[in-house]
């Protein structure tokens, strides 16, 4: 954790763990979290009874990026020579949110 946060990160993690450990046994309660930095997760978060299951969601493949581009450019007047299929390949490694942000920037430029 960065030293520039004056211990804020540690206090937030500590409070989160306290709250999770203090939960009464409840039926049908699920706590879900997401991160794009699993490499810096506090190991205490992954102990049994906390966040037991990790699900890796990879970056979208070419077809998924193409579908995202089609959805987010539906209302954008693109030139006839714009090939969104090629553009989807250029954006390899981009997340769905990255693709959406790119499309928003395109709209601002028009």
- Between CA 76 and CA 83 the distance in angstroms is 14
Contacting residues for 33 by C-beta, under 8 A, at least 6 apart: 45, 51
Please tell me whether the overall predicted TM-score, pTM, comes out greater than 0.75 for this model: no
How confident is the prediction along the chain (110 residues), in pLDDT tens digits per residue?
Answer: 455 677 898 898 888 888 877 767 767 777 888 888 888 888 888 888 788 788 888 889 999 999 999 998 888 888 888 899 998 999 999 988 899 998 888 776 65
Domains along the chain? 3-46 (no CATH), 62-109 (1.10.8.60)
Closest by CA to 99, choosing from 72, 76, 74, 80, is 72
């Amino acid at each position: 954790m960065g030293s520039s946060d004056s211990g804020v990160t540690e206090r937030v993690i500590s409070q989160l763990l306290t709250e999770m450990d203090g939960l009464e046994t409840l039926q049908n309660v699920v706590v879900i979290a997401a991160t794009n930095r699993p490499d810096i997760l506090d190991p205490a978060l992954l102990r049994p009874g906390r966040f037991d299951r990790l699900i890796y969601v990879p970056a979208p493949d070419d077809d998924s990026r193409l579908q995202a581009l089609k959805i987010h450019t539906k209302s954008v007047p693109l030139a006839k020579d714009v090939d969104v299929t090629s553009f989807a390949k250029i954006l390899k490694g981009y997340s769905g949110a990255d693709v959406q942000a790119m499309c928003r920037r395109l709209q601002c430029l028009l």
